[in-house]
């Protein structure tokens, strides 16, 4: 099987031919390239609260290092992600079909916080090439029955389950620290409502070695906080002060992005980071493993900037906007003074 056959059929005509792994593309005159910049680096072993506050307030995105995740586990996660996403397209559709707690999506398909695939309305700017598997951590145990007859699924389940425990620990610690930088006094119930561990989901994604099309459109995450584990290919970009910048890969670290719900919790003292996967200068496949965590569906948000709303209402509005307009409109729908 050629590598292209593991991708959705509509991707194949747009994909680059295989090249040497480290081949880079010289930018053509006029090619819109984002600027390189060094984002803040936060040491989780020795949390500097003032540095964390500045990273959240001024950037909304930062590297997190010394997280305590074993390097052997990180390698296993990467290997399993590449192995499963490299399976034939039809096999992935079957493995992660209606009987699986996991879901497979690609191209014009996106996934809601609850893990349901959402079909986008047609858009003029097509060509966003990526595929992924949505892995709700609370449902991984249900994969056990299906994985008994398939060793690939069992290995995938075991590795993702262990990885999920670590990233959940990181998120809980980070959320606690960020709320302290805001001087928020939250009860235990409030913390669990804002950051519901049962909603934790991992999405493993693959982008083909294509340089002419962007990988993923500009968007903010609906989550509270997102943990992005990107490979050394790069391609992740974010907006700051009206300009796009590249997030340069940093070995043995994660990229942390603040989501929409953190923007509401902080009453806009911290902003949700606008980001995308742009055109990559390396002719090489890109893999990313992203962990999201959301509030409970009935979590009520009260803010001076927004009308009172439940997270379930926000989720439903995002789904409707994607189906109707082709993209997420987000928090502007809930502004108290539009």
Domain ranges of the chain: 36-333
Asked if residue 73 lies in contact with residue 162, where contact means CB atoms within 8 angstroms, the answer is yes
Cα–Cα distance for residue pair 233/188, rounded to 1 Å: 40
Task: Indicate the pTM of the whole model.
Answer: 0.90
Conformational region of residue 128, where left means phi above 0, alpha means psi within -120 to 50, and beta covers everything else: beta
Alpha helices, DSSP H only, in 274-335?
Answer: 311-325
- Yes or no: say if 134 and 111 are a contact pair by the CB < 8 Å rule: yes
* Domain over 36-333 is classified CATH 2.60.120.330: yes
The separation between CA 190 and the C-alpha centre of its own chain, rounded to angstroms, equals 24
* Cβ atoms of 128 and 107 closer than 8 Å: yes
Least Cα distance to 39 among 250, 315, 276 occurs for 250
User: CA-CA distance, 146 to 142, in Å (whole number)?
Assistant: 8
Task: List per-residue pLDDT tens for the chain, 338 residues long.
Answer: 568 889 988 888 877 655 555 444 444 444 456 788 999 999 999 999 999 999 999 999 999 999 999 999 999 999 999 999 999 999 999 888 888 889 898 876 567 655 666 777 666 555 578 899 999 999 988 887 766 667 778 899 999 999 999 999 999 999 999 999 999 989 999 999 999 999 999 999 999 886 566 678 889 999 999 999 988 888 899 999 999 999 999 999 999 999 999 999 999 999 999 999 887 555 688 899 999 999 999 999 999 999 999 999 999 999 898 888 888 888 999 998 86
How close are the terminal C-alpha atoms of the chain, in Å?
53
Question: What does the DSSP 8-state code read for residue 290?
Answer: E
CA distance 294 to 311: 9
């Amino acid at each position: 099987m050629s590598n292209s056959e593991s991708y959705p059929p509509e991707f194949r005509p747009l994909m680059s031919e295989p090249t040497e792994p480290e081949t880079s593309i010289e930018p053509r005159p006029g090619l819109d390239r984002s600027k390189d910049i060094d984002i803040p680096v936060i040491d989780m072993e020795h949390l500097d609260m003032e540095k964390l506050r500045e990273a959240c307030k001024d950037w909304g995105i930062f590297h997190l290092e010394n997280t305590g995740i074993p390097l052997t586990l990180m390698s296993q996660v990467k290997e399993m992600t590449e192995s499963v996403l490299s399976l034939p397209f039809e096999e992935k559709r079957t493995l992660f079909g209606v009987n699986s707690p996991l879901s497979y999506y690609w191209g014009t398909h996106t996934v809601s916080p609850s893990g349901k695939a959402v079909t986008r309305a047609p858009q003029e700017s097509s060509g966003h090439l990526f595929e992924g598997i949505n892995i709700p951590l609370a449902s991984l145990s249900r994969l056990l029955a299906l994985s008994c007859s398939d060793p690939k699924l069992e290995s995938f389940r075991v590795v993702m389950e262990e990885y999920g425990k670590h990233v959940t620990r990181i998120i809980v610690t980070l959320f606690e620290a960020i709320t302290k930088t805001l001087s928020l006094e939250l009860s235990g119930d409030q913390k669990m409502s804002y950051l519901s561990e049962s909603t934790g989901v991992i999405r493993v994604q693959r982008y083909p070695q294509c340089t002419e099309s962007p990988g993923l459109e500009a968007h903010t995450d609906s989550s509270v906080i997102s943990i992005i584990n990107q490979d050394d290919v790069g391609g992740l970009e974010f907006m700051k002060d009206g300009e796009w910048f590249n997030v340069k890969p940093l070995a043995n670290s994660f990229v942390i992005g603040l989501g929409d719900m953190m923007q509401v919790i902080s009453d806009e003292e911290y902003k949700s980071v606008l980001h995308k996967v742009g055109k990559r200068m390396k002719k090489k496949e890109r893999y990313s493993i992203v962990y999201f965590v959301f509030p409970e569906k009935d979590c009520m948000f009260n803010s001076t900037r927004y009308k009172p709303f439940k997270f379930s209402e926000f989720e439903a509005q995002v789904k409707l906007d994607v189906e109707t307009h082709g993209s997420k409109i987000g928090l502007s729908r809930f502004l108290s003074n539009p």
